[in-house]
Amino acid sequence: MDSFIIGQQLVNGITLGAIYGLIAVGYTMVYGIIGMINFAHGDIYMVSAYLGAIFLAVITFFGIDSVVLALIITLLFTIVFTALYGWSVERIAYRPLRGSTRLAPLISAIGMSLILQNYVQLSQGARNQGFPALVEGSVRVGDGAQFFQVTYLQMIIVVTAFVSMGILTYVIHKTSLGRACRATQQDPMMAEVLGINTDRIISIVFVLGAIMAAVAGILVSLNYGSFDFYIGFITGIKAFTAAVLGGIGSLPGAILGGLILGMSESLFSGFVNTDYKDVFAFGLLIVVLIFKPSGLLGKPEIEKV
Amino acid sequence: MSHLLTLNQVNVSYGPVQALYDVSLEVGSGEIVTLIGANGAGKSTLITSLFNKPKPNGGAIHFDGHNLTSEQTHNIAKLGLALVPEGRHVFPSMLVEENLVMGTIPIGENHLEQDRAHIFDIFPRLKERRNQRAGTLSGGEQQMLAIARGLMSRPKLLLLDEPSLGLAPIIVQQIFGILKEIAEDGMTVFLVEQNANHALKLAQRGYVLVNGRITLTGSGEELLANPQIREAYLGGH
């Protein structure tokens, strides 16, 4: 086996994994705080890809030529509007069902996912949409026939993803807002009695998850150049897998799970078979769940006394 | 004496099951008042209904000029009410320090340093354990932390729900000793207890709750001396 091929696949894998991680934190935070799987989260990511393309077009129309400036403005607008989608989904589909059965919000989430897909399909058309290749060029490592390359775009993706996840981790662990989030997660009733508006905190968690998904949406669009209304499904399932792999409810777990999933998928594609990479990814999940049902960094659920 | 907390004919139900019937009681500023009763009498319901969990379906609750039944749960702590709940409910994955900071939410972190130093004087054990996760503390230490967290909001009224629950007798002694100190500092305390002996010795006045109704009231000494109480709650000796 060629070490350069391993190198290349690792670079590709870290890029993919960083994106899975960004989306996975949305699943894991929502699960941590209200114990539900937000199946519409993948579609929030999909919506952000569309919003990104629309804002980029508008910004270009206004004649902003600098790629860096255009990307930053696009990112900011996309974040704000995607956050609005995340917030609305919680208000419309989940909050009215709080206090009902565990299954009700889950079904509502699947419904929300279908609504978002169909809404985007109807309003934007079923065809693939394109995103211009704004960042080109790469760095080669090695020489002659023996090399692997890291594109500038891959560097941007990995750096942006890790900076975003770093900021999120800081917010959750070091700020009073994050402390309120953790309190609501650990003991919602006590948090409320101590003066935390837990409904507001739950909204904020959905917003934070949507922000991360928006960053992922822009990065993926830049990387692949095209998307459609259905991308949220498979990427959502993969990111959810990453969250479960790392231990659902655990923030570092989601990031680790994303990286492991991305790298193993990419190595498997490089050395075995591209067609079966999803089988491998989900097989990996099954193996982890057999030996460690709470995931890699998750805590086993202890019955409270 | 002005009444800080007044319950007037309060009724509380869980769906079709009524837990409290026409409960009326008062806690005056500076007083230590206890409510004793057996398991399932409705003691914890009475305490949590002050926070509208569950919301009373009849009667009025007034605290320091505010009508509590019309307030949202998360706004009640700001009025000066702090709860040390049954089962302690510290945040297990947070550090002891963070748990204390959680107590300051109603008043902000302006007095944090000063109040924390004061708390560590009262509870030296918490100072030793300040950088430990609350979930790793012993039951008694968690109870101290829950009380300390309650004090961090500088409440006008400290509500305690069964602080002796599940603790060794020597720890219970210790906790009640601390409560006495806190009360002597001028804190108003409303204490709900099954441990009638300790509670009545600490309190100036007491109420007895039986099957959701207040059946007896009097000073701590009167209730301690009452043969019915001795029979029902103090082992009949």
The whole-angstrom separation of Cα B187 and Cα B4 is: 12
Q: Give the model's confidence band at A99: pLDDT under 50 very low, under 70 low, under 90 confident, else very high.
A: confident
CB contact under 8 A, A182 and B94: yes
Q: Which of A176, A187, A195 sits opposite B74 (nearest CB)?
A: A195
Domain contains A143: no
| B104: nearest CA partner in chain A | A194
pLDDT tens-digit series, residues A41-84: 999 999 999 999 999 999 989 888 888 999 999 999 999 999 99
Among B190, B171, B168, B178, CA closest to B121: B178
Range of A224's domain?
A: 3-136+150-291
For B70-79, write each residue's pLDDT tens digit: 999 999 999 9
% of chain A residues with pLDDT over 70? 98
**Is the sign of the CA dihedral B15, B21, B22, B27 positive or negative?**
negative
A304 assigned to some structural domain: no
Query: A142 lies in a domain?
Result: no
Q: Note the pLDDT tens digit of each residue in B114-131.
A: 999 999 999 999 999 999
- State the DSSP H helix or E strand holding residue A226, giving kind and residue range, or none if neither: strand A226-227
**pLDDT score of A142 more than 90:** no
The string of pLDDT tens digits covering residues B11-21 is: 999 999 999 99
Are the Cβ atoms of A195 and B106 closer than 8 angstroms? yes
| Mutation site, A98, A181, A182, A193, interface B, largest B CB count within 10 A | A193
Task: Return the CATH number of B1-78+197-237, one of 2.40.40.20, 3.30.70.890, 1.10.3720.10, 3.40.50.300.
Answer: 3.40.50.300
Q: Where are the domains of chain B?
A: 1-78+197-237
A305 assigned to some structural domain: no
- CATH number, domain of A266, equals 1.10.3470
Query: Cα–Cα distance between B200 and B212 in angstroms, integer?
Result: 20
Give whole-number Cα distances, A45 to A235, B48, B147, in Å. Answer: 9, 41, 44
ipTM of the complex: 0.92
Work out how many domains chain A is built from and give that number.
Answer: 1
